[in-house]
């Protein structure tokens, strides 16, 4: 676990090095993606935090396997784009093959685009398809959580079910690169970046 910003903690989990994020406001915590439950549950308990929401950037197995245990004993329903229902179903079939032990089976609510509020968190949901059809990115306090849409100097893969290279590039160009240049991007894999850094250094984007 690493503290990325004053109120944002990153957990890089599993053989896929998937980033999960905990965002804290007062004693409340919002979780973005949950690969494996126990590191996040331990963190929440140790810091006496109250879990108020879980948002899933997409339905791939390495982003969702910990959700069931994370939300156990709460009434929280994670949020996912409806176009990734298929990804959840696939993940339920393949999770063991990919080395996970937690079955990704849970109830969730659908989200499309727009602003939502979860407790003290104001969240803007942006639909950024391409890595999967239902991939979303989130803006919280001017920070972009990009899931597997864009990485530092790279992009998400598009060769899996529901992936489409042109759609991904359009999502990045039309919805991410247009954000203010100083926007910090926290991706689903790898290190932090900014919109400005990607404009200059991402080989998949020629602005």
- Give residues in contact with Zn ion (CB under 5 A): 60, 148
Least separation in angstroms between CB 42 and Zn ion: 25
Give the chain's radius of gyration (CA, Å).
16
Closer CB to Zn ion, residue 24 or residue 155?
155
Closer CB to Zn ion, residue 148 or residue 198?
148
Closer CB to Zn ion, residue 24 or residue 36?
36
Contacts with 66 (C-beta within 8 Å, 6 or more apart), sequence order: 13, 20, 34, 35, 36, 37, 38, 40, 102
**DSSP sequence for 140-159:** ETTEEEEETSEETTEE----
162 phi-psi bin (left φ>0, alpha ψ -120 to 50, beta other): left
Least separation in angstroms between CB 152 and Zn ion: 16
Closer CB to Zn ion, residue 10 or residue 60?
60
Least separation in angstroms between CB 17 and Zn ion: 12
With residue 93 as reference, give the H or E element that holds it: helix 85-94
Sole residue written with tokens 């969240």:
123
Closer CB to Zn ion, residue 60 or residue 175?
60
Half-sphere exposure of 112 (CA within 13 A, CB side): 0
Least separation in angstroms between CB 60 and Zn ion: 3
Handedness of CA 52, 19, 200, 169 (dihedral sign): negative
Closer CB to Zn ion, residue 18 or residue 202?
18
Least separation in angstroms between CB 18 and Zn ion: 8
- Cβ atoms of 133 and 84 within 8 Å: the answer is yes
Least separation in angstroms between CB 58 and Zn ion: 6
- Ranges of beta strands (E only) in 18-110 are 18-25, 28-32, 50-55, 79-80, 109-110
Q: Which residue is nearest to Zn ion (CB)?
A: 60
Instruction: Tell how strand 114-118 and strand 136-140 pair up.
Output: unpaired
């Amino acid at each position: 676990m690493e503290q990325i910003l004053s109120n944002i903690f990153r957990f890089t989990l599993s053989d896929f090095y998937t980033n999960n994020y905990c965002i804290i406001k007062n004693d409340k915590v919002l979780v973005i993606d949950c690969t494996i439950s126990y590191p996040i549950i331990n963190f929440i308990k140790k810091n006496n935090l109250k879990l108020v929401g879980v948002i899933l950037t997409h339905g791939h197995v390495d982003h969702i396997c910990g959700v069931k245990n994370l939300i156990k004993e709460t009434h929280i329903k994670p949020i996912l784009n409806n176009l990734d229902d298929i990804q959840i179903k696939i993940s339920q079939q393949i999770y063991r093959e990919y080395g996970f032990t937690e079955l990704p089976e849970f109830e969730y609510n659908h989200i499309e685009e727009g602003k939502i509020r979860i407790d003290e968190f104001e969240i803007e949901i942006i639909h950024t398809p391409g890595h999967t059809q239902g991939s979303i990115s989130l803006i919280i306090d001017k920070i972009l959580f990009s899931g597997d849409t864009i990485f530092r100097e790279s992009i998400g893969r598009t060769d899996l079910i529901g992936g489409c290279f042109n759609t991904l590039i359009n999502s990045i160009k039309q919805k991410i690169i247009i954000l203010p240049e100083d926007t910090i991007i926290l991706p689903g894999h790898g290190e932090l970046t900014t919109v400005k850094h990607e404009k200059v250094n991402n080989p998949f984007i020629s602005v």
